[in-house]
Amino acid sequence: MSDQTHLPGHDLAPGEEEQHSVGERVLGYVVGLGLALLLTATSFFIAGTDLVWQPSIPVALIVLAIAQMGVHLVFFLHITTGPDNTNNVLALAFGLLVVFLVVGGTVWIMSHLNANMPPMDQIMPKPM
Amino acid sequence: MSMTTTAGHVHADPHHIGVVIEHPGPASKRIVTAYGFWIFLLSDIVMFSCFFAAYAVLSGQTAGGPKGSEIFEQRNVAIETVCLLLSSFTCGMASIAADVRNRFWYYLGMAVTCVLGVIFLIIEFREFADLIARGYGPSRSAFLTAFFSLVGCHGLHVSAGVLWLLTMMAQVFAKGFRADVLRRMMCFALFWHALDIIWVGVFSVVYLLGGGT
């Protein structure tokens, strides 16, 4: 049985919850689903509306996406700040570090290359 | 888990910090398996981040072809999103049912998850087929290459997930809720929830950010 039950003082496997009744676990998923649906609906509404200042829309979409990822991590994958979750959180933090380095670094470098590159006809003059 | 003798405390507190930590030996197989799969999922997310970075760089390079706002249909994307979100929920229900060894709710949860996943795949496949039929295939422009590789890679993951889901139903049917089957079920649930997290990035960055302006 030690293969399946979570003993106090042990680590938790990723995705595993602490001991709760079935009702509490289902409620957690229902709350997560409600929050995720709300954030999704807001994203789709914001993307197509004229009600807000237009340059704020991309920022709002990114913030909403990150918030929804957080909701999924907490309510579906059960990542918590508890001591039994330290290993899972550390692995996640390292993964996020690499993701931000890759995406942020690429966008940063490529935008500078684009801005510093002269127009194509200056590099390769058209043949007479 | 009760505290042992004083001699045991000396070993349990090697740095004399006053806190006795009992080391129960290696973690159980369930934790080791799920943790290894968690590491794999994070590496998979890192791979997706490379596709996201390529899309972010190439999204404006349309080479005279269509822009994102001309080919994306928000309504289809909204249906796809709701399908994946609900399937994540039913997958959670199936994992709870597996933990309490309830076959009926397990099969029901997995079947609904499978149907929602297949609906998602059908909508995505029709979108791709429609784009290619109009001449907007992945070879049309750098933007479309990045679009097809990112969204297609996610679609391939969902296809693999559906196959895995059917395998898990068959294993529970044939072998019951054995410890090894439950470990695989836990990895499958992690995989399915992670796919939904990646889809949040896809619909926000590709369809909503790329479809606007």
pLDDT band at B5 (very low <50, low <70, confident <90, very high): very low
CA–CA separation, B12 vs B28, rounded Å? Answer: 20
CA–CA separation, A9 vs A83, rounded Å? Answer: 9
Confidence (pLDDT) at A37: 96
* Domain count along chain A: 2
**Mean pLDDT along residues B6-13:** 52
Residues A25 and A64 in one domain: yes
User: Does the pLDDT at position B73 exceed 70?
Assistant: yes
pLDDT band at A1 (very low <50, low <70, confident <90, very high): very low
- How many residues would you count in chain B? 213
User: Does the pLDDT at position B11 exceed 60?
Assistant: no
Q: pLDDT digits over B27-42, tens only? A: 889 999 999 999 999 9
- Sequence letter at residue A48: G
Confidence (pLDDT) at B79: 95
In a domain, A41, yes or no: yes
Residues A44 and A73 in one domain: yes
Residues A73 and A89 in one domain: no
* A63 to chain B, closest Cα gap in Å: 10
Confidence (pLDDT) at B8: 46
Contact B190 A15 (CB under 8 A): yes
CA–CA separation, B45 vs B177, rounded Å? Answer: 30
Q: Which residue of B23, B49, B199 is the best one to mutate when testing the A interface, meaning the one whose CB has the most A CBs within 10 A?
A: B49
Rg (CA), chain B: 23
For B212, the 3-state DSSP assignment is coil
**Mean pLDDT along residues A95-109:** 95
In a domain, A46, yes or no: yes
User: Does the pLDDT at position B2 exceed 60?
Assistant: no
Residues A33 and A62 in one domain: yes
For residue B18 the two structure tokens come to 């006053």
In a domain, A14, yes or no: no
For B186, the 3-state DSSP assignment is helix
**Closest by Cα among B107, B40, B154, B82 to A14:** B40
Residues A25 and A66 in one domain: yes
Q: Which residue has the higher pLDDT, B13 or A88?
A: A88
Residues A53 and A94 in one domain: no
Residues A67 and A88 in one domain: no
Give percent above pLDDT 90 in chain A: 52
User: Does the pLDDT at position B144 exceed 90?
Assistant: yes
Q: Which residue has the higher pLDDT, A121 or A89?
A: A89
Which residues 100-159 of B are in CB contact (within 8 Å) with A? Answer: 100
Q: Does B193 touch chain A (CB under 8 A)?
A: yes
Least CA distance to B44: which residue of chain A?
Answer: A95
**Mean pLDDT along residues B130-157:** 94
Confidence (pLDDT) at A26: 93
Contact A14 B93 (CB under 8 A): no
User: pTM for the whole thing?
Assistant: 0.86
Least CA distance to B51: which residue of chain A?
Answer: A103
Confidence (pLDDT) at B1: 43
Residues A89 and A68 in one domain: no
CA–CA separation, B132 vs B140, rounded Å? Answer: 9
Q: What is the largest CA-CA distance in chain B?
A: 78
Residues A106 and A64 in one domain: no
**Mean pLDDT along residues B55-79:** 89
Residues A67 and A94 in one domain: no
User: Does the pLDDT at position B13 exceed 90?
Assistant: no
pLDDT band at B107 (very low <50, low <70, confident <90, very high): very high
A34: containing domain: 21-78
Least CA distance to A72: which residue of chain B?
Answer: B197
Residues A30 and A72 in one domain: yes
In a domain, A71, yes or no: yes
In a domain, A127, yes or no: no
In a domain, A1, yes or no: no
In a domain, A15, yes or no: no
For residue B159 the two structure tokens come to 């296809």
**Mean pLDDT estimate for chain A:** 85
Q: pLDDT digits over A19-37, tens only? A: 788 899 999 999 999 999 9
- Sequence letter at residue B45: I
Confidence (pLDDT) at B14: 59
**Closest by Cα among B117, B96, B112 to B163:** B117
Confidence (pLDDT) at B124: 96
**A42-45: long-range contacts, CB 8 A cutoff, minimum separation 24:** A43/A68, A43/B203, A43/B204, A43/B208, A44/B74, A44/B78, A44/B81, A44/B208
Confidence (pLDDT) at B86: 96
In a domain, A3, yes or no: no
User: Does the pLDDT at position A7 exceed 80?
Assistant: no
Using a CB-CB distance cutoff of 8 angstroms, which residues of chain A are in contact with residue B53? 102-103, 106-107
**Mean pLDDT along residues A85-111:** 94
* B117 to chain A, closest Cα gap in Å: 17
Residues A63 and A89 in one domain: no
